[in-house]
């Protein structure tokens, strides 16, 4: 298991970089919503955590071990959510905001997701923080 998933802006969330390969789609409704990708030999679990049928959506990415992939691959329909939670609960998460027309537009790392009420809360917090930092930096450039 490696570090964090590489995210390229403008990519679709289920293939977030040029070199990402689809390993497994666990859940799809119109677009893929939960699945596993491989990047540079490492596995990552992705899931849409908000906006599953909407034009804007939030996503979460976690590094995944091979044994966890096997558990996910064998999970029954009723056990998938629990298997996803178990595979992703103890490690940093990358969260991303995406839109139908433009793909991924922003991403940030949540170092300790367990400190938040939910991944959606974590995503909201770190993405807002990142956005504020960008706003501040840009403000210094405006004279």
Partner 1 sequence: MPERPSRPPLRPDEVLTQYGRQDATGFRNRPRPGVEEAISVIVGRLTAAEAHALIIRRGTYRPGFDVVRYTTVAALSEAGFRPQRDPTPAIPDHVLVFAEGEWDDEAADRFDTCFGRVAGEET
Q: Give least dist CB 36 to partner 1, A.
A: 10
Sign of the alpha-carbon torsion through 35, 57, 13, 66: negative
**What is the smallest separation between the CB atom of 118 and partner 1, expressed in angstroms?**
8
In the Cβ-directed half-sphere of 89, how many Cα atoms lie within 13 Å? 8
Instruction: Give contact residues for partner 1 (rule: CB under 8 A).
Output: 12, 24-31, 33-34, 49-50, 52-55, 73-77, 80-81, 100-101
CB 3 within 8 A of CB 99: no
**Looking at beta carbons only, is 41 or 77 nearer to partner 1?**
77
CB of 28 to partner 1, least distance (A): 5
Residue among 21 and 100 whose Cβ is closer to partner 1: 100
Nearer to partner 1, 74 or 136 (CB): 74
CB of 37 to partner 1, least distance (A): 15
């Amino acid at each position: 298991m490696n570090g964090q998933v590489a995210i390229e802006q403008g990519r679709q969330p289920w293939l977030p970089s040029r070199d990402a390969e689809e390993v497994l789609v666990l859940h799809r409704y119109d677009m893929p919503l939960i699945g596993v990708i491989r990047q540079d030999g490492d596995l990552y679990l992705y899931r849409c955590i908000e906006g599953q049928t909407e034009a804007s959506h939030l996503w979460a990415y976690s590094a995944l071990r091979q044994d966890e992939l096997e558990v996910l691959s064998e999970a029954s329909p009723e056990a998938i959510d629990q298997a996803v939670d178990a595979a992703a609960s103890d490690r940093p998460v990358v969260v991303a905001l995406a839109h139908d027309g433009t793909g991924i537009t922003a991403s940030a790392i949540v170092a300790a997701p367990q400190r938040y009420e939910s991944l959606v809360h974590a995503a909201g917090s770190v993405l807002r923080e990142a956005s504020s930092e960008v706003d501040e930096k840009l403000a210094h450039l405006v004279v």
